[in-house]
């Protein structure tokens, strides 16, 4: 009798289940779409944004999870470094790449622990040093092998790198300076109490002394002792974003609202370059013909160094926000922007993006 009741129960349960299943609406099918990358590789699948059913909205935590799973690529090119062989190293937020600047051909891509590169430098034996936002790495250009450097720096967020006349490596972080011997692999000294805190940019004067652009002006550091020996604090805008030294030994300093020329001997501002007043200057480099290329957050200019007169302006770049410059490299000016890499012919003035490093080319290409 119990067995009969069990069989009857099973039959009724199956009937009820079948009735319930018949009221479940089928889920719409979704097909993954693949779009080729500029270098021919595939990115993770992206799905169509179907209109949600009435009354159904994605929960914020779920949306945040999706954003983390498929983060948008950042194409900024923060540093450009020629090497002893004539190749050009591209430091970007996509990683570290070596190219032939004559043809644009990619020679090698180097895998790094962290792709947010802030600075590059080449030491006296040709090794490439890359400063990322999570520390320092060294690359052997003969094998393209990477070695992480576990130095105790003031901070692992590296903003600038410089090789001094002795061949030592100065590492600028957002919390001070460090001095490293590349050959011995030793941390020589640190300067944590740097006036202005953050070593945003560095250059050497004619005497071989180090000048550091900070959040509060310019600081002079004796390269032998690692001690601060001078300051220039009366900087319009306060923050120094870029620095270089001209052929006469003067310091050119870019700030959020000016381009200044400083005499390192007197530590006085000699002049403010008139066409750049009110502009945020982010990169400054001198060409072999003594002209100066000035990158800002809204365009790239070529100036006459003696007078500051504008010789030309470069258009059709991937972005008007200029982050890095490498003049006279492969008979070109290479330009790193917030949206990728481009080059300017020094003979014709022709501008072309490097499509392996841009999200999309200008509309006229």
Residue spans of the domains in the chain: they are 73-169
Q: 204 - beta bridge partners?
A: 210
pLDDT by residue, tens only, the chain of 365 residues = 444 444 444 443 444 334 433 333 333 333 333 333 344 443 343 333 433 444 434 444 443 444 445 457 899 999 999 999 999 999 999 999 999 999 999 999 998 887 899 999 999 999 999 999 999 999 999 998 999 888 999 999 999 999 999 999 999 999 999 999 999 989 999 998 999 999 999 999 999 999 999 999 999 999 999 999 999 999 988 999 999 999 999 999 999 999 999 999 999 999 999 999 999 999 999 999 999 999 999 999 999 999 999 999 999 999 999 999 999 999 999 999 999 999 999 999 999 999 999 987 555 44
Superfamily of structural domain 73-169: TolB, C-terminal domain (2.120.10.30)
For residue 41, the model assigns a pLDDT of 41
Tell me the C-alpha distance between 146 and 149, whole Å: 10
* Ordered DSSP codes for 35-102: -B-TTSPBPPPB---PPPPTT----HHHHHHHHHHSPPP---EEEEEE-TTS-EEEEETTEEEEE-TT
For residue 71, the model assigns a pLDDT of 59
For residue 112, the model assigns a pLDDT of 87
For residue 362, the model assigns a pLDDT of 52
- Name the one residue in this structure whose structure tokens are 């790198």: 161
For residue 32, the model assigns a pLDDT of 32
Give the residue from 267, 220, 218 showing the smallest Cα distance to 239. 218
Tell me the C-alpha distance between 2 and 211, whole Å: 94
Q: Are 164 and 170 in contact (CB under 8 A)?
A: yes
- Name the one residue in this structure whose structure tokens are 């194409």: 75
Give the residue from 355, 350, 334, 343 showing the smallest Cα distance to 120. 334
Tell me the C-alpha distance between 138 and 128, whole Å: 6
In angstroms, what is the C-alpha Rg of the chain?
28
Tell me the C-alpha distance between 196 and 300, whole Å: 28
What is the DSSP pairing of strand 117-122 with strand 242-245? unpaired
The secondary structure element, H or E, covering residue 138 is: strand 135-140
């Amino acid at each position: 009798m119990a067995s009969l009741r069990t069989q009857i129960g099973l039959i009724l349960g199956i009937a009820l289940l079948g009735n319930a299943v018949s009221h479940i609406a089928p889920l719409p099918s979704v097909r993954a779409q693949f779009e080729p990358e500029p270098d021919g590789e595939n990115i993770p699948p992206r799905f169509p944004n179907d209109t949600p059913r009435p009354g159904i909205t994605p929960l914020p935590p779920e949306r945040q999870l999706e954003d983390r799973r498929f983060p948008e690529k950042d194409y900024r090119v923060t540093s450009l470094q020629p090497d002893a062989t004539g190749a050009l190293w591209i430091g970007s937020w996509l990683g570290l790449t070596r190219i032939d600047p004559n043809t644009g051909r990619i020679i090698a891509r180097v895998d790094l622990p962290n792709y947010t590169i802030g600075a590059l430098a080449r030491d006296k034996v040709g090794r490439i040093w890359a400063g990322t936002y999570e520390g320092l790495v060294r690359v052997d250009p003969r094998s393209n092998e990477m070695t992480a450097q576990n130095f105790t720096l003031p901070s692992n967020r590296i903003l600038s790198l410089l090789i001094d006349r002795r061949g030592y490596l100065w590492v600028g972080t957002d919390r001070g300076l460090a001095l490293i011997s590349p050959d011995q692999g030793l941390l020589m000294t640190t300067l944590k109490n740097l006036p202005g805190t953050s070593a945003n940019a560095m250059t050497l004067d004619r005497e071989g002394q180090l000048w550091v652009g900070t959040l509060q002006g310019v600081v002079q550091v004796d390269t032998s002792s690692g001690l601060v020996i001078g300051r220039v604090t009366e900087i319009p805008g306060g923050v120094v974003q870029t620095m270089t030294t001209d052929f006469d030994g003067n310091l050119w300093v870019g700030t959020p609202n000016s381009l200044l020329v400083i005499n390192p001997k007197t530590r006085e501002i000699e002049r403010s370059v008139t066409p750049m007043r009110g502009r945020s200057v982010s990169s400054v480099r001198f060409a072999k013909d003594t002209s100066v290329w000035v990158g800002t957050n809204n365009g790239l200019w070529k100036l006459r160094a003696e007078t500051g007169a504008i010789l030309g302006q470069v258009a059709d770049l991937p972005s008007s926000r200029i982050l890095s410059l490498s003049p006279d490299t492969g008979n070109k000016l290479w330009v790193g922007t917030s949206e990728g890499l481009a080059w300017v012919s020094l003979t014709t003035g022709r501008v072309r993006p490097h499509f392996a490093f841009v999200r999309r080319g200008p509309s006229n290409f």
